[in-house]
Chain A
Amino acid sequence: MRGKTADGQWISPLNPAEPYYNVMMKEASGWSTLRLVPRGLPLNTSRPPSKFISPCTSHWAAIRPSARTSPRCFGSRDRRKSWSPCTHRLDPVQRGWGQWSIPAAAELATQIRQLDPSRLVDARSGANCCGTKGDPHADDVIDVHDYQGPACRGLTPRAPPWMASTAA
């Protein structure tokens, strides 16, 4: 696929057989998402849903109520023969890279939640990290990045917005 270099120019001329990985912008440009499909992750939808155990719906309690009613993500129970992906969460901005501002990330998350109420939304991952630090407070999760440990660093716990209507 055609991508852009770090200075914003399209790869040119394009050779479809060349992955261009070493010259591409990578994580910060969303390249990881773009390459998921061509990198051999077959979405096995040919079998009836009853044969699947969803890693999302098996943890029903943690799913936003509107997402429980229309679970569109499901994966094979035995993934040894299938790299079936499960898109349980939409995360438009990885680590705040490319994020215009905190309010802009909040607005984007709000729009995405309206467009796809069946999935959780993470306005930006790693709110303690990297570009445009801070939690937009407009999504379903608090996302902190901490490789070694339980994400102790950073943010004050808060309830996701949908809890206002379901809390006892």
Chain B
Amino acid sequence: MDGEHGGLTLGIPGHVWPSTAINPHGAVKDRAALNDGYVANTAVLQDKGPGIGVSGSVHTQITDVEGEHNGLFTYDRNVEKVDESKVCGRSARPRSAPTDRPEHSCRAALPFQLIADRAPSVRSHYGATA
């Protein structure tokens, strides 16, 4: 598992914890770049991860925290920094995922984004029967 994945940094003025140094893991210039960066980084995980035994990731992070601005949402939870239709739609899901599942929302899907259903070898390794 990639226990810390993402780290795209974008602060939204007026929605950050004040007067604290920021740890910029990977600064992006605006919200469009944040969306593009998330989709691209997720694609790398989905394409390369299963082949090296990676079956999941933990996104850094769901919301901004005091000293880090890598959230899908701002520190006060009032602004959704990403566009859900771009980062949580089918483009950001495993390509072999069943189509009968409800679309994930950011809040439901991203904290623990398993990609095991794209990797048959991983599924059988962990005892899956179907």
- Which A residues are within 8 Å of any B CB, using their own CB? 21-22, 26, 32, 55-56, 59-62, 65, 75, 77-80, 83, 86, 88, 91, 122, 125-126, 141-152, 157, 159, 163, 166-168
- B residues near A (Cβ < 8 Å) are 1-7, 17, 19-20, 25-26, 41, 44-45, 47-49, 52-57, 60, 65-67, 77, 102, 105, 107-109, 111-112, 114, 116-117, 123-129
Q: Which of A62, A86, A144 sits near B3, CB closer than 8 Å?
A: A144
A77 to B102, CA, bound (A): 10
Chain B residues within 8 Å of A142, by CB: 1, 53
**Majority secondary structure of chain B interface residues (helix, strand, loop or mixed):** mixed
Question: B3 near A59 (CB under 8 angstroms)?
Answer: no
Contact status of A62 and B116, CB under 8 A, knowing A125-B4, A149-B44, A150-B49: yes
Write the nearest CB–CB distance from B37 to chain A, whole angstroms: 9
With A22-B20, A126-B3, A126-B4: A151-B54 Cβ-Cβ less than 8 Å: yes
Whether the Cβ atoms of A21 and B128 lie closer than 8 Å is no
Asked if B3 and A79 make an inter-chain contact with CB atoms under 8 angstroms apart, the answer reads no
Residues of B within 8 A of A122 (CB): 1, 3
Interface of A is mostly: loop
Q: Is the CB of A151 within 8 A of B116?
A: no
Residues in chain B near residue A86, CB distance under 8 A: 111-112
Q: Which residues of B contact A78 (CB under 8 A)?
A: 105, 108
Q: Nearest Cβ distance between residue A146 and chain B, in whole angstroms?
A: 5
Residue of A nearest to B114 (CB): A59
5 A-B residue pairs with Cβ-Cβ distance under 8 Å, sorted by A, are A21-B20, A56-B112, A62-B114, A145-B2, A159-B125
Closest to B128 in A: A61
Task: Report the separation of the CA atoms of residues A86 and B1 in the bound assembly, to the nearest whole angstrom.
Answer: 17
Whether B107 contacts A80 by the Cβ 8 Å rule is: yes
The answer to whether A150 touches B1 (Cβ under 8 A) is no
